[in-house]
Amino acid sequence: MESYQIPKIPVSNFSLKHTFESAQPLTFYADYNEISNTITYPYDSMVINMMHSGNQEKGELHVVSRHGNVAVDEVKRRFRLHDNMERIYKRIGTDEHVKNAINSYRGMRLTVNDPWETTLVFIISQFNNVKRIRLITRNIVKRYGTEITDSAGREVAKSFPQSRDLLKGTEKDFRELGAGFRAKYIKEAAEYCTYNINLTKLPGNKYNKLKESLMTIRGVGEKVADCIALMGYGNLEAFPIDVHIKRSMEKLYFKGKKKPIKQIQKLAEEKWGDYRGYAQQYLFHNARMTK
């Protein structure tokens, strides 16, 4: 029996529950246990197991893995622990609506996800609901992911498949995993992202350029590109406008009147500036949970 020291990371303003429930790519294939406040997920050829102790204001992250500092760094990066949440809350909590959302879901973090994972997940997300997005994503991971084994060689999980791993799948295959009409987008995106574009080389900090490049992928429009920019590249200037955000913001900021996407984008930029991605996630989650 090997024994490991379990690294602990002190954290403030952190909620695994709110983060996990906020429909980000990681949360579509990770396993979360609300009782033990633990999350388990594949990362490359590793399985990361992380527990949050303490409360939303102050606590610790316990990183249980065979991979020591590599896993610790992954957790820090993944949950954006470098973000100064007090400063961000101050910057975006400039009106009652965002302030209320922060009070309700304090500690919810944006996550940083692999760009290809994010692309695939949000192609699946279009005209779909969270439950089915999770189902389809997990089906694809199960079918096309690579085995991750423990020190005894037993399979403990499947890694998230890269675009190359999906090349052997046909449109029909993806359809059978539940993807519906998105199956052809998945097939095309897998080919395009393997042969025609290198997602790891895109300029993550140049919002307009990044979005323009992402939208050359078929099945990726404005909204999905913003989701990839925000959760795949950590670009907080991205402000994805989906049905929930649109309805909610029309109600809260435009007296219930229908407004074009452009106008909502403009308001977001004016109100929350370079941190608008965080405002979006809080408004989105609040809208979804209170509907």
- Rounded-to-integer distance, Cα 85 and Cα 11, Å: 11
Question: Binding to DNA by residue 24, rule CB under 7 A?
Answer: yes
Q: Which of 15, 22, 118, 162 binds DNA (CB under 7 A)?
A: 22
Burial of 169 (0-12, 13-18, 19+ CB in 10 A): buried
Q: Is 1 helix (H, G, I), strand (E, B) or coil?
A: coil
Instruction: Pick the closer one to DNA by CB: 24 or 159.
Output: 24
Contact status, residue 62 vs residue 239, Cβ threshold 8 Å: no
- Rounded-to-integer distance, Cα 255 and Cα 220, Å: 31
- Rounded-to-integer distance, Cα 286 and Cα 263, Å: 21
Instruction: Pick the closer one to DNA by CB: 9 or 215.
Output: 215
State which of positions 250-279 bind DNA (CB under 7 A).
260, 262
Contact status, residue 263 vs residue 249, Cβ threshold 8 Å: no
Q: Is 165 helix (H, G, I), strand (E, B) or coil?
A: helix
Q: Minimum CB separation from DNA for residue 213, in Å? A: 13
State which of positions 167-186 bind DNA (CB under 7 A).
175, 178, 180-181
Q: Which of 125, 137, 248, 286 binds DNA (CB under 7 A)?
A: 125
State which of positions 201-230 bind DNA (CB under 7 A).
215, 218-225, 227
Q: Which of 130, 148, 197, 267 binds DNA (CB under 7 A)?
A: 130
* Contact residues: DNA, CB under 7 A: 22-24, 122, 125-133, 175, 178, 180-181, 215, 218-225, 227, 231, 240, 242-245, 260, 262, 280-281, 284, 288
